[in-house]
Every structure is written in C-alpha cells, then in structure tokens.
Structure 1
Amino acid sequence: MHLDHSPAAHSHDGPAALGADAFRSDGSRRALRIGLGGPVGSGKTATVAALCRALRDELSLAVVTNDIYTREDAEFLLREAVLPPERITAVETGACPHTAIRDDISANLEAVEDLEDEAGPLDLILVESGGDNLTATFSKGLVDAQVFVIDVAGGDDIPRKGGPGVTTADLLVINKTDLAPYVGSDLGRMAADAKAQRAELPVVLQSLRGEGGVGEVADWVRGRVAAWTA
C-alpha cells in the first residue's frame, strides 16, 4: 500500500505544515521519516546505531538501510541489537545509492510503509543511504528531513567544497572529531566553512567516542519529532 507522497512544506526548525502524505489511509499520522546520507566511511551506520540506543526507550522507531549489493549495514545493526529485528530492514539498491533515495524511491517507500504496517504504530523511521558523494540528497517524497554526515578524515576542506548534501541538509554532522589531531584537520576551520555554506542551518561537531556522543543529534531528532506530532 502506497500513500500520496506529495511533499509537505518545511521550515528550518521543523515541518511548517502537514501535507496529505502525513496521514495513513486509516487517518492516523504516519511516522516522521529522517534520512541520513553521506560519503562512504563517514560514520552513518554508527550514528544510526547510537541514535537507536539513545531514543529507543522514549520513541517507537525503526530503520531502513540501503546498500548497493549487500545488507551489511542492516546486519551490523542487528548484531549490535540496537532494535528488535522486526524493526530493521534493508534495501539492496543495485545501483548508485542516490538513485534509490532521490530518483526511484519506490523500494524505500515500500520498506518504510511495510515497517509501519508490521511494527507500527511508529514515531520515527530512520532511512540510511548507502555511502555516496557530496551530491547525495533525499527526495522530499521519501523523507521529511535530511541529516548529512561527513568526517574529519575526509579532509577539512569538505565543508568549503560544499555540494547539495553539505549546503542544504537540514542538519550537517561533522563526525569523528576525535581523529582531527591525527589526520591534520582543523575543526575551527571546518565549523567556520560549514557556517559560511549553510547560513542558519545547524551544524553539529560529533565524536561518538567522546563524552557527548550522539547527544546533540539525538536532541535535534527529538525536536523534529515534537514538531511533527504537535
């Protein structure tokens, strides 16, 4: 069963209005869908796992992962037991990951709707893209908000180079800040370049090994869920 997937209006702080696709056919509100994208190795799956651990006791959530030819990311989440197995599903894209999250989103739509049918009611579904490049963005017909994850090991010039993921995502996460001294990345420069590219859109500098962990990102997600359900 597919819903009407015309996108809802959004602001930088949260959904500005509910579109027709905000409700299921029975009139109940569907889950908020947040996409996580970014280059290979930036820490998307680790961030998803950390978010699941941080939010699973307060929100009803599920995860869809995307890989080209494997189910490796989903299998990692299952091994880590971040959620019950029935709340984690995988999509094998068979092509560049951005195709399945931006161009032909049908497989992901089916996956998120099946999760709501089988594990619902849900508050939140996290849709993780396979590793892609700085041009990767999610269709607004698939997700309600997008998180873009880069990491310091990719080079401290990444925010300055921009690209749709860096400049337009609802939240930019600069990950693995604990590695900065070892790879020669200037965190101050990265933060300043990100702000210059993104204006008022938020940026989080994150180390999942640090004391704060995924806390700031989890708080941002909580805010989006609150705006969605208010």
Structure 2
Amino acid sequence: MTQQGAARVGIGGPVGSGKTALVEQLIPVLRRRGVDLAIITNDLVTHEDAERLRRTRLLAPERILAVEAGACPHTVIREDPTLNMEAADSLDRAFPDLDLILIESGGDNLASTFSLDLVDYWLFVIDVAGGDDIPRKRGPGVIQSDLLVINKVDLAPYVGVDLPRMVAEAIDVRRGRAVISTNCRVGEGIEAVADALCKAVLYQPA
C-alpha cells in the first residue's frame, strides 16, 4: 500500500487500448461524485498524454503532471517507480484535500504490472481490436490487475470478435475477478468503472 495521502490508482494497458480516453471519461464522472482528483501520465520522452488531458480543461492544468519514462514504460511503474512516487507526493503536498490520483502508464504490452509500492489498486485496459485471444494469452496485466477493462466494444462486429465469448474467457482466466466492458468514445461502462474505484479505494458505496 502507498503512504498516507490520496489513494493511488494505476491504469495500464497496450498502446492504443484507450487508457487516456478512459481517464478523460472518468474525470467528470468522479468529480460529480465529489472526488477531488489529480492525474499523472507516463510517456517515453514526451508529455503528449498530459498535454492532451490539459487541452480538455476537465481539470486545472496544475493537477495533471507528466513523467517521462525514458525507457520501457513498465520500468517507472514497476521496477523503479520513484519518479511516479515523487510526482504523487508533490500532488499530495500541493492539494492537501486530494482524494484520488490516477496514474496512467505509457502504452506497454500484456506483461505490464504496477508496483504495490506505487498504487493501492490498478486496472488494465485491453480492446477488442487487439483480438479476442488476448484473455487466452493470460498476460500478467490481464490476470493480476484488480480490474480488467475491455474497451472499444462497439468495434467487435467490425473486427470479427465474439464479444460475449471474449468477456466470458476473461472472467474465466481471472477466476471471477472483475471485468468491465466499455466504449470510452461514448462513455459506455464508465459509471461501472467509477463504481469499482470508489468502492475499492475511496470506500464509497457503488
């Protein structure tokens, strides 16, 4: 578990799975629930995702920090999460009433996981366009995350994915642990993700 301060939730997943889109959708939903939050994004050598979020004006820009991994994205969320821990600590100091910090990983592969020294809870985002065999590959991100999000469900008919089977196989390989389907483009499933976060780390009823 992390140190005292805001709860810290990691969001990981492959490139293009929809992590930043999920964060964009979660911000207004969580704010409507009275959650005081901030964001940390991780990119290889840019601040691209942080700048994208700042352009939305969903949060004050000083509540969105960027970490440059400079190496494989999982390095700064697992092997040596010091940069992200320092960024989170700085947000705690700047905003004493902060409830929640979302830490978005840079795009990585199915082996990406978060150090529990960094986060209290983490979710992993995959998308149907990546193929319905992703759950069967049993990557650590799919198996070990607290919550698995299957995004872009609207694309299933166009990419030949049997969505009910994909969801069922995900639940099976995760031994019944939480799986939520989303379409972040239109906000489908976002309330359910917010429910899971609030219940798990903010102890608010769903």
TM-score normalised by the chain length of structure 1: 0.85
Per the alignment, residue 51 of structure 1 pairs with 26
Deviations 1:54-106 (A, max 9, x none): 11231110000000011000001000112111110000010000000000111
| C-alpha distance in 2 between matches for 1:43 and 1:60 | 23
- Give % identity: 56
Conserved? CA contact 1:150–1:174, under 8 Å: yes
Note closer, same or farther for the CA distance 1:211–1:94 as it changes in structure 2 (3 Å cut): closer
Is the Cα contact below 8 Å between 2:181 and 2:189 reproduced in 1? no
| Alpha-carbon offset, residue 155 of structure 1 | 0.5
- The secondary structure found in structure 1 opposite 2:42 is strand
Establish whether residue 105 from structure 1 lines up as the match of residue 84 from structure 2: no
Aligned to 1:181, the other structure's residue is in SS state helix
SS of the equivalent of 1:55 reads helix
**CA apart distance, 1:189:** 1.4
Check 1:135–1:73 CA distance in 2 against 1; reply closer, same or farther (3 A cut): same
Aligned length: 203
Partner of 1:117: 93
User: Whole-Å Cα distance in 2 between the matches of residues 150 and 45 of structure 1?
Assistant: 12
Instruction: Report matched runs for 1:12-161 at 5 Å.
Output: 21-23=2-4, 30-57=5-32, 58-161=34-137
CA, structure 1 residues 118+226, in 2 after alignment: closer, same or farther (shift >3 Å)? closer
CA distance in 2, matches of 1:67, 1:211: 24
Give the CA deviation at 1:225: 3.1
Q: Which of these two proteins has the greater Rg computed from alpha carbons?
A: 1
Q: Which runs of 5+ in 2 are unaligned?
A: none
Letter in 1 for 2:163: L
Contact 1:206/1:214, CA 8 A, preserved across alignment: yes
Instruction: Give the aligned CA root-mean-square deviation in angstroms.
Output: 1.3
The 1-side partners of 2:66 and 2:129 are apart by 27
Calculate the TM-score normalised by the size of structure 2: 0.95
Give, in whole Å, the separation in 2 of the partners of 1:203 and 1:225: 17
Provide the rounded CA distance (Å) in 1 between the counterparts of 2:106 and 2:83. Answer: 14
Please say if residues 178 and 210 of structure 1, whose CA atoms lie closer than 8 Å, have aligned partners that are also in contact. Answer: no
Contact kept, 8 Å, 2:120 with 2:201, in 1: the verdict is: no
Segments of 4+ moved more than 6 angstroms: none
Matching residue of 1:223 = 199
